Amino acid sequence: MKNNRIFESCILGLCLLAGLALVGYLLSNGLLQFKSLDRTVAVKGLSEREVAADVAIWPIRYSEADNDLNRLFSTIQRKNELIVRFLKEKGFKDEELSLSAPAIFDRQGQGYAETNRREFRYSGTSAITVYTTNVSAVRSAMAQLVELGKMGIAFSGQDYESKMEYLFTKLNDVKPGMIEEATKNAREVAERFAMDSKSKLGKIKRASQGQFSIADRDSNTPHIKRIRVVSTIEYYLSD
């Protein structure tokens, strides 16, 4: 009877030891697998494209001066008509043109001390803005502004209010392809890293897409835009 109990106790002890060993193995293997999940590599993928602007905003501004206010308004009206006629001859439509009210400045009314030294009391500026998708027509017409200069129209320089502006409005059309390209580039970089470290590239742990940026290609070709996006992707690594 006593021997049976000793035998049963030995069997129970061996079972406990085997169970503990199994649990230890499973825990250690699980920890190793969990630890392997911590091995990651974060890479960046770049996509860049050059596209032509599809919208042009062209403010045409000029200045006039006179001592007679009525004559000044008449001159501005006449020159506005000349500019509109010029633009229509270049192919622009009425809906692409907008005329701003002239801004008149009275030096005497402003109380300037040097008013008597100036030749003209009144000065005025007027602006006609072209808003069109026909970018090539704008570039062509700009090269022919000398025709209006010969008619006595003195244009303002490229200040903030009269600066030519080119826009690209079809970003959504190129977004999917650029995101795919940036992701592909990021994976290629990650695969090279994995190969160099004698590892295997796993699934994506996390990914973030940077903002799209649109800028002029350079100062001499503002009608050509450069679009850029950078994606950051983190991959798991395994042996």
Q: Where are the domains of the chain?
A: 1-37, 39-54+168-239, 55-167
Q: What was the pLDDT predicted at 183?
A: 93
| CATH classification for the domain delimited by 55-167, as one of 1.20.1250, 3.30.70, 2.60.40, 3.40.720 | 3.30.70
At residue 24, φ and ψ (nearest 5 deg) are -60, -40
pLDDT score of 167 more than 60: yes
Out of 22-26, 109-113, 180-184, give the one with best mean pLDDT: 180-184
Instruction: Decide yes or no: CATH 3.40.50.1370 for domain 39-54+168-239.
Output: no
Distance separating alpha carbons of residues 156 and 167, to the nearest angstrom: 22
Distance separating alpha carbons of residues 60 and 5, to the nearest angstrom: 109
Select from 121, 20, 23 the least CA-distant residue to 71: 121
Percent of the chain scoring above 70 in pLDDT:
77
Kind plus residue range of the DSSP H or E element containing 207: strand 200-209
66-90: b (≥16 Cβ within 10 Å) or e: beeeeebbebbeebbeebbebbeeb
Query: Which pTM value belongs to this model?
Result: 0.74
Tens digits of residue pLDDT in 7-58? 555 555 555 555 555 545 444 454 445 445 568 889 999 999 999 999 999 9
Q: 198: left (phi > 0), else alpha (psi -120 to 50), else beta? A: left
pLDDT score of 2 more than 70: no
At residue 228, φ and ψ (nearest 5 deg) are -140, 140
